[in-house]
A = this chain, B = another copy of it.
């Protein structure tokens, strides 16, 4: 029996609340529209979709009418009062949107940024046991839509909170996961002498498991901020697909490595700063040399200029010179090339197009700052090993060392926004916010 036949037999329509019985299980949820005739798409209360093969369906019961007034019902719900308890640390949650603050659109099954931040917090009573929580919605957007101006706004909110609230223990930034590592890098550079922990927290609700990871990630981040002496920008997400631990990852040395898993954020050329066990709330520090709170910290400096004319360009076989010449014509000030291997681009072997690419890179390097990162992500750029790398160095290309291409891109844009071109060339390869790991004394290969 296919979906159409099942719907007729049990008199249910799309958007009805139904209970589906298979041989061994039953599932309750809203029947979603879907194009697959051999499967029922059910939106469950947890917010997750489940697919049930029609061949496994034994019975369907209608439990409620078509779900239409979801939005209305939600907004009518009373706001719970947020109480403050003396002795608990003060944590500010800045919400920017993303899945962590999302609600499912019942008509389409798609996720939209819409939940009010206050509601999210009052729905997680554990937060209030650990800290006095204040919250503020900066905006509501999916992180894939963010632009440089949005980084300025978040950095400004952080600066304001740190300067105004002397008792502030730390800040959580609720954020979409798509570009969270770009934002964490931008905030790392924009805020100098940050003397509180600022933890970006996302959620991969669209995940491979049955419940949302938003609550656990928020609880772990709160727990960490309340107890830690770490200061600076970091990310708090699941350590693995299970719900046992969260990890605190560097804001400049992490990236999203999986499109849907809750443990999608991984350290790159780095290890996690700390692990928080969800059940015991125990914090284990994995890194010895993380930045620590200073009793007499220097004053927070906000440098939030960022050069719009900065590009991140992935290099690949059959790349053409014209693609680079475009950036010269458009007067870009900074270019990060995401090259291959140790930091290469197709400039050799005497072919006409490769010669033109070399010439285009050389010209770009004259006018603007050209930086080389690797699409391999792990490992370090070393342009001293192969002839291709040496030629690129001679053309003026600067190594991103072991920065991710994303961090190199944000750093370059930030440097160009706040410093001269000459200073930018000097600072790009220098470690400013933990983004570059110290390399051993000599360039080249080491023996173990």
Contact = CB atoms under 8 A, between A and B. Distances in A.
Interface of A: 34, 36, 38-39, 41, 48-51, 53, 105, 108-112, 141-148, 151, 177-179, 182-183, 205-210, 256-261, 264, 308, 310-314, 316-318, 322-323, 326, 330, 338-349, 351, 353-354, 374-382, 384-390, 406, 409, 413, 440-448
A374 B386 CA distance: 30
A419 to B, nearest CB: 19
Nearest to A44: B447
Contacts of A311: 323
A444 B316 contact: no
A440 B381 contact: no
A49 B326 CA distance: 39
Contact of A318 (B147, B322, B342, B388): B147
A178 B349 contact: no
28 contacts: A34-B443, A48-B445, A49-B444, A50-B444, A50-B447, A109-B384, A110-B386, A111-B386, A112-B386, A112-B387, A141-B348, A144-B345, A145-B348, A147-B353, A178-B344, A206-B385, A206-B386, A256-B375, A256-B376, A258-B379, A259-B342, A259-B374, A259-B376, A260-B379, A261-B378, A264-B379, A308-B318, A310-B318
Q: How many copies does the complex hold?
A: 2
Contacts of A111: 385-387
A390 B374 CA distance: 31
Nearest to A309: B320
B210 A447 contact: yes
B348 A142 contact: yes
A49 B258 CA distance: 36
Contacts of A381: 259
